[in-house]
Amino acid sequence: MRILIVNPILHTHEKGAIPVRETNHDCMIYGMARGFVANGHDVTVAASEEYRCTEPEDNPFEVVYFPSRMPRVFQPWRIPWPKGLGRYIREHRFDLVFSSEVFSMGTLIACRNAKCPVVAWQEQMQHNRHFHEIPSKIWYGIVTRLMMRRVIAVGRSLPARDFISRYCPRTSPETVDHGCDGDVFYPSDHADDSFVIIARLVEGKKPLVILDAFLKFIRKPGFENYRLDVIGDGPMRQPMEERVRQAGAEGNVAFHGFMSHRDFAPISRRAKGMLINTVRDSNMVSVSEAIANGTPVLMNSVPYTAPFIRDNGVGIVRDGWDEDTLEELARGYGRFHEACVRIGKSFTSTAGAEKIVHIAENM
């Protein structure tokens, strides 16, 4: 099957600044593309020119970059309008178009130009708040119902599915979460006395709150030698490093900066928990990667995966968690880890890609 993946935005922006990377290898949609390839499909990824990497890539799929039309209005980091995408779809034969989000110019273009099924992978669980939700309500209420009636919507979560089903009559009852590379993320039988943070170090991720809880945790008898590995970078790194110096805990906290998936996966695999205490995130790919890695998750109730974590016993969900919760996580590692191993394979991109094709063929 020839599959076109329309995903113009490859990385999360920071206040409108698009990150420039040597390679896009670790972006979420590349992982999904590799999942389709592993299942025997011929894959092309359509992305925005602004996300072109600086070094040549060796991918098992083709990547085509499109310039953005009217970038001041259709901002490339928010709702890009890929110039030439419609013509490209008309001139190439595809058996399936897999596009990110219903509220997307790329998905609209695919619906208007593709002769094959179009699947929209829906992450949004509510209306976009920009301009008092007016553009979002117009898009879902009018554009989607009039011009995208043939789209097959697949939620990445139950809340996303329930939201988009109000506007798309062809919404799959099944959901498909973000997958990860099963060759990179897999469980281990050994764990170190450590926890891990995998995140951009920005205020919304509350990394200082997490660090303070850890610094109190290592003052507990029997936990003095635990280590916190901090993977990621951002403006909060310097305050975190200063806090560690003030506490005299340099031997307990390691700052690794930005790392590739292959580099940080072994660190995560050996940790007794991944720590999350976020303000806004609905989607966190790192949660799927942690579960596939056999790493339990400690989080607050904000991410949409919180009910899944709680219901499947792969970690702890608790608002306002503290050093006592970290002790609970450390002592319960065995049963949390076993639960992760039990369901981890379902979080691979290969399994997710197979499920998408099955839905497209049966809707």
- Per-residue pLDDT tens digits for 22-66: 999 989 999 999 999 999 999 999 999 999 999 999 999 999 999
> pTM value?
0.83
> Which tens digit of pLDDT belongs to each residue from 112-170?
999 999 999 999 988 988 888 999 999 999 999 999 999 999 999 888 999 999 999 99
3-state secondary structure the chain: CEEEEECCCCCCCECCECCCCCCCCCCHHHHHHHHHHHCCCEEEEEEEHHHCCCCCCCCCCEEEEECECCCCCCCCCCCCCECCHHHHHHHCCCCEEEEECCCCHHHHHHHHHCCCCEEEEECCCCCCCHHHHHHHHHHHHHHHHHHCCCCEEEECCHHHHHHHCCCCCCECCCCCCCCECCCCCCCCCCCCCEEEEECCCCHHHCHHHHHHHHHHHCCCCCCCCCEEEEEECCCCHHHHHHHHHHHCCCCCEEEEECCCHHHHHHHHHCCCCEECCCCCCCCCHHHHHHHHCCCCEEECCCCCCHHHHHHHCCEEECCCCCHHHHHHHHHCHHHHHHHHHHHHHHHEHHHHHHHHHHHHHHC
The yes or no reply on domain 194-346 and CATH 3.40.50.2000 is yes
Domain parsing of the chain, residue ranges: 2-179+349-362, 194-346
**2-179+349-362: CATH class:** alpha beta
Question: What is the chain's mean pLDDT, rounded?
Answer: 94
Per residue in 241-252, pLDDT (tens digit) is 999 999 999 999
Q: What is the pLDDT of residues 257-276, one digit of tens each?
A: 999 999 999 999 999 999 99
